[in-house]
Amino acid sequence: MTKRPDEEGSTLVEFAIGASVLFLTLFGIISMSLALYSCNFVAQAARDAARYAIVRGTSCVGFTDCDITSAEVNTYVKGLNYPGIISGNLTASLSPSPAGGPGSTITVTVLYTFPMDIPFWPHSGTTIHMGSTSSMVVSQ
């Protein structure tokens, strides 16, 4: 097969267009997977923080941090250190704060701001706000 002189470099242009679409799709899938992972983390962090708080009510025994407050729950959640999670974008609150005695219900709310970055996407740099709430009964 012979090449015509006006087709010189057409393969390079076709590859550039095809690769751009491929990489945009690939990075978009990766970014959306990280968003799903972050959403799963927020739900799990709310459950973990609620479990942490229910054993640290006003009548707890055996812990140094009894009568837990919202600030202590926030510190606990930020200290979970899941990979890929930016702890500066994470907040947690406890209601009521401090946690009550045995039999009272506490609610932990975890909020996370996910930075959405997809190269070459016009809406890159936007954020997705995620949140989860978990309620449990204080055991101690």
pTM, 2 dp: 0.83
Q: What is the mean pLDDT of the chain?
A: 89
Q: How confident is the model at residue 3 (pLDDT cuts 50, 70, 90)?
A: low
* Whole-number Å distance between alpha carbons of 115 and 34: 10
CB atoms near residue 119 (< 10 Å): 11
| 135, 106, 49, 133: CA torsion to nearest 10 | 40
- Looking at residue 1, its pLDDT comes to 58
